[in-house]
Structure 1
Amino acid sequence: MTHETAIKLFESKKIRSLWDAEKGKWYFSIVDVIEILTESPRPRKYWNALKTKLISEGSELSPKMGQLKMQAADGKYYLTDVADTEQLLRLIQSIPSPKAEPFKRWLARVGYERLEEIENPELTAKRMRELYKAKGYSDEWIEKRVRGIAIRDELTNEWQKRGVKEQREYSILTAEISRATFGMTPSEYKEFKGLEKQRDNLRDHMTDLELIFTMLGEASTTEIARNRDAQEFDENLDAAVEGGTVAGSARKDLERKSGKRVSTRENFKEIPEVKKRKIGTGKKK
């Protein structure tokens, strides 16, 4: 199956999603949906109990649901219970929630928008910009974030062509680029910024300069891997360390000359919209 990963938002809450190009349908993380609909602090436990109830009642719904590997906050991929749109609509009937009807409308819109994006890929980037704009980020920050996503996609595509297959290997390579660039792995960076490992996307909480050096590290890694024709994990690991080192050296040079650290503890959690825009442009309130 050809899967395209994505993060969908319902009322600013993240839902991990996969698009199956062969079947032409979305698959959604059931636990993520349940967390939103029930606001339960333990959505996994809620789902396990509901699944047991459905099986005991002889429901055909639960056995039809499958598992796909989805990325967790630690950057690793785990088998996750998923459901397609039709299955989710049926599952929602078993979950008492005032958000059920709005969520059904959201599912319909997600499916329609995907069809539009297949016809016109530029809509994907446009909608991404609109989403960040609605959340209060500055236009300058958004452009860097979107560009960073493109550079990241180019790097992971390069890794795939060069024999890096396992998601665990992707995570290790990414960690080494970050360590060489900032002196911290993504997990350590999240802790540095006071972010939650399971919920927060590190790059959504980076300032302009942090995004720029992240892009430099990943773009440098792509260039080095191509020029060396790096193959398999070990050779690409060397390229990742050296690509990150290029960005790390540039960061240290800027810090020496500016007298200010690039890495900052600032994040966009619980920050007023006006301040969020100012941080996105590198200005402080």
Structure 2
Amino acid sequence: MNDFLEQRKKRLEEFKKNVRKKQITYKPLDIPEGLFIKCDQCGAAIYEKTLQVDHYVCPFCDYHFKMSAKDRIALIADEESFDQLFKDIKSLNPLGMEGYEEKVKIGQKISNLNEAFYCGSATVVGIKVAIGALDSSFMMGSMGSAVGEKVTRLIEYATHEKLPLLIFSASGGARMQEGILSLMQMAKTSAALTRHDQEGLLYISILTNPTTGGVAASFASLGDIMIAEKSSLIGFAGARVIKQTIRQDLPDGFQTDVFQLNHGQVDMIIHRNDMRKTLYNLLKLHKRDDEI
């Protein structure tokens, strides 16, 4: 037994010497970019395809990731019912702003859209609607002349066809590269909504993450029914700007979906997976007499 242990000890020492002589190099594992996405709330690394299946909702903490306009409408509308409208409207450079046209092209490439607003007609469980969504990947869903025109035309289409209107907002506000022409869209979209309301038609505004600036101060806040999607930031100016202006500490959870609900700015907070069902129930409840 002693001889066996002695031989084993010698072999182990020889093995260690051989290992020290060798320079072992490790090649880092080549993981394709975008394969995993980090959750902004809990920090978990999530397989991108898992997020797609779960409609971009974190499986660990239920945080709602930003969603493209096309994916959002596909989630709500009946399959193959969506008919895109006003797709040829796109931004020019009315003020000759340097670098603006390049930024628009980047937005078009990232989002695969002509502009930050994607809209058309569709059915939701058989109920026909006019529907549109802002895409935050296109210059943060900012509203310039083209976006304002598309929103206005969608509202006018809904008014003419006597349809309920659904708009999903996701925006950083007015597009500063177009100056006053961008700010004018706030009044234009609001006026179109007034005419839609005068016809006794339903407008459901869904606020997603984030809804801020000129969009929040115009058509996004004028819904007959105001819905906040879970995990949304909703407000006008940023929290830091407000704090520096009023020189006061802001309440905990300022501009969150829960804060807005508690202060009467929205009617309900809806989980993304429940959004289609909730919208259908609201549409069915508010169907006009001539539609029944």
Q: Per the shorter chain, which TM-score range? A: under 0.3
**1 or 2 for the larger relative contact order (CA 8 Å, sep ≥6)?**
1
**TM-score where L is the length of structure 1:** 0.27
More strand by share: 2
Question: For the pair shown, which has the larger CA radius of gyration, 1 or 2?
Answer: 2
**TM-score where L is the length of structure 2:** 0.27
